[in-house]
């Protein structure tokens, strides 16, 4: 590939790797692989987003550029909620923090109800906002604030039932890909409303009567029955504690906080942060 501008080729390649990593994870879930075996694939997905964001930032000359156009592209927003939901349902809060940092730093925090409601149970200091970018998520958002348990379940089911059809009217690169299947060839990797499962899990919505094919019921059951805790501590160090691994770390308590620490170095605190306690996360390098 011959690039027209410096950094263009690296950015395009990183974009393709990011897309392929996410599709590979989803197709593994579609194929029925055990949920517990998806962790490494999810790590690769988040890392691919970080690499793409850096390549895009170098190409565009904007250090905090978002890897996803959440406001203008429903397909990009769906990609965001899918990855965030997988982090939540697989109990990988460490990966969730790294992933959300990419879009928060670009200014998408405090802008969308679903964005904030999907994160507030796991990440402190999220905004309370009553507006959202894309109407496709209205029923899902309403399920969070329903006045009754039955009402919440009904709205969640309505969201699942209209999910595929509604996205068919929007600009997405995955809708109707099952029609391209020809033997072992094709671009179909699965249709899943992971965000519906994450909202049901986070807000205790009864999904016992939801049997729509896009609802990831077994993944929600896995999240509800998960008893482990050690994986949540991977790559996490509280301020005032010694660095556990030499390399680059960042904290959501401060913009552009990524920096290099030596093992044993005391992790600093960020004063006057809306995030509360300062927690440092391994940057994946």
Q: What are 232-269's pLDDT values in tens digits? A: 455 678 888 888 788 888 887 777 788 899 988 999 99
pLDDT of residue 261: 92
pLDDT of residue 154: 98
Structure tokens at 145: 């604030």
pLDDT of residue 175: 52
Report the half-sphere exposure of 121 (CA within 13 A, side-chain side): 17
Element (H, E) at 237: strand 236-238
Sign (positive/negative) of CA torsion 69, 70, 75, 76?
positive
3-class DSSP assignment, residue 49: helix
Alpha-carbon distance of 100 to 120, in angstroms, equals 12
- Report yes or no: 258 and 239 within 8 Å, Cβ to Cβ: no
Structure tokens at 131: 């507006």
pLDDT of residue 2: 58
pLDDT of residue 10: 94
pLDDT of residue 230: 40
Alpha-carbon distance of 121 to 89, in angstroms, equals 12
pLDDT of residue 231: 47
CB neighbours (10 Å) of residue 175?
17
pLDDT of residue 237: 84
Element (H, E) at 80: helix 74-89
Structure tokens at 204: 């205790």
Low-confidence residues of the chain, pLDDT below 50?
178, 186, 230-232
pLDDT of residue 62: 96
């Amino acid at each position: 590939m011959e690039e027209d501008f410096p950094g263009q080729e690296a950015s395009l390649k990183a974009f393709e790797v990011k897309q392929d990593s996410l599709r590979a994870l989803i197709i593994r879930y579609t194929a029925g692989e055990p949920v517990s075996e998806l962790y490494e694939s999810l790590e690769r997905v988040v890392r691919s987003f970080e690499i793409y964001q850096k390549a895009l930032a170098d190409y565009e000359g904007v250090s905090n550029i978002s890897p996803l156009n959440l406001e203008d592209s429903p397909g990009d927003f769906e990609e965001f909620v899918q990855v965030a939901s997988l982090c939540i349902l697989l109990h990988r809060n460490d990966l969730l923090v790294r992933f959300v940092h990419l879009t928060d730093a670009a200014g998408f925090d405090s802008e969308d109800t679903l964005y904030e409601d999907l994160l507030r149970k796991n990440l402190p200091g999220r905004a309370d906002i009553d507006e959202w970018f894309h109407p496709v998520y209205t029923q899902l958002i309403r399920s969070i604030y329903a006045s009754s348990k039955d009402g919440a379940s009904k709205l969640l089911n309505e969201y699942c039932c209209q999910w595929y059809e509604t996205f068919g009217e929007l600009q997405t690169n995955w809708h109707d890909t099952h029609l391209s299947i020809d033997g072992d060839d094709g671009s179909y990797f699965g249709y899943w409303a992971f965000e519906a499962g994450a909202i049901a899990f986070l807000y205790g919505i009864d999904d016992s009567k939801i049997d729509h094919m896009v609802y990831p019921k077994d993944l929600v059951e896995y999240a509800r029955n998960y008893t482990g805790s050690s994986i949540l501590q991977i790559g996490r160090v509280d301020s005032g504690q010694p660095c556990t691994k030499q390399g680059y770390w960042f904290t959501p308590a401060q913009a552009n906080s990524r920096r290099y620490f030596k093992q044993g170095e005391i992790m600093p605190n960020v004063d006057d942060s809306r995030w509360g306690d300062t927690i440092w996360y391994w940057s994946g390098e």
